[in-house]
Amino acid sequence: MLEQLKDLHTQALDELNKVNNPRELELWRVRHLGKKSSLTKILRSLAALPLEERRKGGAQANEIKRALESSLEEKEKLLQEALLTSPLESQRLDITLPGRPLPAGRLHPTTQILKEICDVFKNMGFQVIEGPDVEWDYYNFEALNIPQHHPARDMFATLWIDAGMGEKARLLRTHTSPMQIRLMERERPPIRAIVPGRAYRYEATDATHESMFYQVEGLAVDKGITLADLKGTLFDFCRCIFGEEREVRFRCDYFPFVEPGVEVAIGCSACDGAGCRLCGYSGWIEILGAGMVHPDVLARVDIDPKLYSGFAFGLGVERIPMLRYGIDDIRLFYSNDLRFLRQF
């Protein structure tokens, strides 16, 4: 029996050396260590032997079993390492090479110009505040001298959420001007603030109009503020954004919440004033409306118009990069076309 055990051990190790994959290894385990293996049969037959032979045979058989189990574990480790290293060797992957560079993200051109506009006015002493996109009729219209049935409401093509409720009606704000009222309700002069944010209007889109766009509202209220202060502020803003050489035009305009009202336009960069599709063949592009805060608006928020005066302005953010870069269609900013966005 001892000779038989030695032969069995030698044969099992020879076969184990020839195993090359986990499937063959499992077959080897069943053949030499399984319930029907020769070694198991020998262990079961020991009970029929005399005591001395049983003792020697049992010790030898158990030693061979432990040796085979140990060899099985070592072979499993070798096969696992081979599975991990063989793809690297076959593909010749050089792990010392640097990784492929990832494309760098960029801010959207509207966000870039919005930050630049805010920086210009912050350098002039204006604080930056924000307001809600969903607004009450009172703040969007009533408090700004645009009561029910006022013809000026037709200018705004409002997107209503629940119309027909008077001052309690809700809407998507048509401009950022409602924050003038909210700000003056909670703060006393002197006030200097700008309000960047989205505005919404129900209107047909074209090269210079969108149903959702960005505005920056500006407000200054203090004693002794005049139209000259407004012009100086806006001229300085235009010089910072467009450069000293760009022409700026002020013209009278009407807005219910300012008196007098003005329109500020910039010379068209696409045609140098000759007239093109971008400027409506006028040579000018309006970038903002402004004016002196109407005394009734000040009185509505308990600011005495006899002691205080102020100016307000609102500018379209997308118009700025259109003028600066000669972009001829505002819809490009919202088309998500990477060929356009990667230029910024």
What tens digit of pLDDT does each residue of 313-334 get? 999 898 888 878 878 888 899 8
Residue 248 class from Cβ within 10 Å (0-12 exposed, 13-18 middle, 19+ buried)?
middle
Tens-digit pLDDT profile for residues 168-203: 889 999 999 999 999 999 999 999 999 999 999 988
What the block records as the tokens of 341 is 């966005």
- What is the three-class DSSP state of 91? helix
The two tokens of residue 172 are 């998507």
pLDDT tens-digit readout, 217-254:
999 999 999 999 999 999 999 989 888 888 889 999 98
Q: How far apart are CA 265 and CA 316, in angstroms?
A: 11
pLDDT for res 302: 94
Place 34 in a pLDDT band, splitting at 50, 70 and 90. Answer: confident
| pLDDT average, residue stretch 266-294 | 82
pLDDT band at 102 (very low <50, low <70, confident <90, very high): confident
Higher pLDDT, 8 or 247: 247
pLDDT of residue 184: 95
Q: How confident is the model at residue 141 (pLDDT cuts 50, 70, 90)?
A: very high
For residue 287, give every residue at least 6 positions away whose Cβ sits within 8 Å of its Cβ, in sequence order, or none.
264, 265, 266, 315, 316, 319, 320, 323
pLDDT in tens, 288-312: 999 999 999 999 999 999 999 999 9
Please give the angle made by the CA atoms of 213, 216 and 220, to the nearest 5 degrees: 155
269/327 Cα distance (integer angstroms): 9
pLDDT of residue 114: 94
What pLDDT does 48 receive? Answer: 67
What SS3 state is found at 182?
helix
Once rounded to an integer, what is the mean pLDDT over residues 150-173?
84
Q: Please state, in angstroms and rounded to a whole number, the distance separating the CA atoms of residues 117 and 19.
A: 73
Does residue 43 surpass a pLDDT of 80?
A: no
The set of residues, in sequence order, having a beta carbon less than 8 Å from that of 184 and lying 6+ positions away, is: 191, 219, 221, 298, 301, 303
Rounded to an integer, what distance in angstroms lies between the CA atom of residue 110 and that of residue 113? Answer: 5
Q: Is the pLDDT of residue 270 over 80?
A: no
Instruction: Judge contact between 57 and 5, C-beta under 8 A.
Output: yes
Structure token pair of residue 304: 């005495």
Question: How many whole angstroms separate alpha carbon 163 and alpha carbon 271?
Answer: 43
Supply the pLDDT for residue 93: 65
Top pLDDT among 181 and 164 is at: 181
Q: Quick one: pLDDT at residue 88?
A: 61
Assess whether pLDDT exceeds 90 at residue 151: no
pLDDT of residue 251: 92
Token digits of residue 287 = 């970038």
pLDDT reading at 161 higher than 70: yes
If residue 26 lies in a helix (H) or strand (E), which one and from where to where?
Answer: helix 22-33
